[in-house]
A and B are shown apart, each in its own frame.
Chain A
Amino acid sequence: MNNTAHTTSSAPTSLWKMRLRLMRKSLKTGWDIFKENPVGMVGLVIIVFFALLAILHPILMATVWDPGTYDPITGYDFKTLIHPSPPSWLPQPDNPMYKPSFRHILGTDPLGRDVLSQLMYSTRSEFLLGVGAALVTVLIATTVGAVSAYYGGLIDILFMRMADVMMMLPFIAILIVLSSLFQFKMIHLAIVYGILAGFGGTTIVIKSQALTIKVKSYIEAARIAGGGDGHIIFTHLVPNLLPLSFLYMMFTVTGAIFSEAVLSFFGLLDIRMSWGLMIQTAQAAGYLLNSWKYWYLMFPAGLSITLLCAAFYLVGRAMDEVVNPRLRKR
Chain B
Amino acid sequence: MSALSFILAGMLAAAMPFLLAALGELVAERSGVLNLGIEGMMALGAVVAFIVVRHSGGHAMGFVAAGLASAALSLVFAWLALAVRSNQVAAGLAIGILGQGLSALFGKGYESLTVPGLPKLAIPGLSDLPVIGGLFAQDAVVWLGLLGTLAIWAAMRFTKLGLVIRAVGENPHAARALGYHVIGIRYGAVAFGGLMAGFAGAYAATVYTPLWAEGMIAGRGWIALALVVFATWMTGRVFFGAVLFGAVSLSQLAAQAGGVALSSQLLASLPYIVTILVLGVISANKRLLKINGVASLGEPFGP
A and B from one complex: no
Q: Which residues of B contact A (CB under 8 A)?
A: none
Q: Which residues of A contact B (CB under 8 A)?
A: none
